[in-house]
Amino acid sequence: MIFIPSKSDYIRTEQGKDFAFSDTDRLQMLNKIAEKNPWMEVSDCELKLSHQPRTYDTLCSLRTDGLKLKLLLGSDKLTELQHGWLHIPEICREFGIAVMIRGRDPAEQMIDRDPFLSSLKQYFTIIHTPDIWQNVSSTAVRRAFSESRLDTVAEMIPDELNLEDYRRRA
């Protein structure tokens, strides 16, 4: 599984998030976690560019490296695909999307009830997430950091990261 952090400036300005660690900090965090997780790879391919590429562009770039890819996203993002993302039909047809169930979302029903999503249903792979990961959310972690409530998300932070190191940087 390849983790590719987006530029922090993009997260704040384009996505309108109220908080994002620096590109360097986020890359360092991912690399630290990956050291003990052989199934995990980290790429800084988006951070090295002068602009923030779209997901489709990144997938196409990685495909040229001979990798077989799918986009992985949480079920909480399904409702954003039609209007919040670019090139979703192309991503679906060329790569496919793996959808991790979050918060016990009824992902299959969400897809069936939405005309846009149901037209792409054949390209979705539903992953039934273990209970321990049901409520893990970067949005919740970001909110807790911005509100200095790190104790509320300690269980969402991998053991490899020391919260105190990042509390000072938040």
Say how many C-beta atoms besides its own lie within 10 A of residue 119's C-beta: 12
pLDDT, one tens digit per residue, over 103-124 is 889 999 999 999 999 999 999 9
- With bands split at pLDDT 50, 70 and 90, how would you rate the model's confidence at 15? confident
Give CA–CA dist 116/101, Å, rounded. Answer: 19
Amino acid 166: pLDDT: 64
The torsion of the CA quartet 166, 20, 138, 158, rounded to 10 degrees, works out to -20
Which residues, listed in sequence order, are joined to residue 126 by a DSSP beta bridge?
A: 99
What is the mean pLDDT of the segment spanning 75-90?
94
- With bands split at pLDDT 50, 70 and 90, how would you rate the model's confidence at 168? low
Average pLDDT over all residues of the chain? 89
Amino acid 138: pLDDT: 77
Contacts of 165 (CB under 8 A, 6+ apart): none
Give CA–CA dist 96/121, Å, rounded. Answer: 10
Contacts of 132 (CB under 8 A, 6+ apart): none
- With bands split at pLDDT 50, 70 and 90, how would you rate the model's confidence at 83? very high
What is the mean pLDDT of the segment spanning 71-82?
94
What is the mean pLDDT of the segment spanning 52-73?
91
Amino acid 135: pLDDT: 77
Contact 4, 50 (CB under 8 A): no
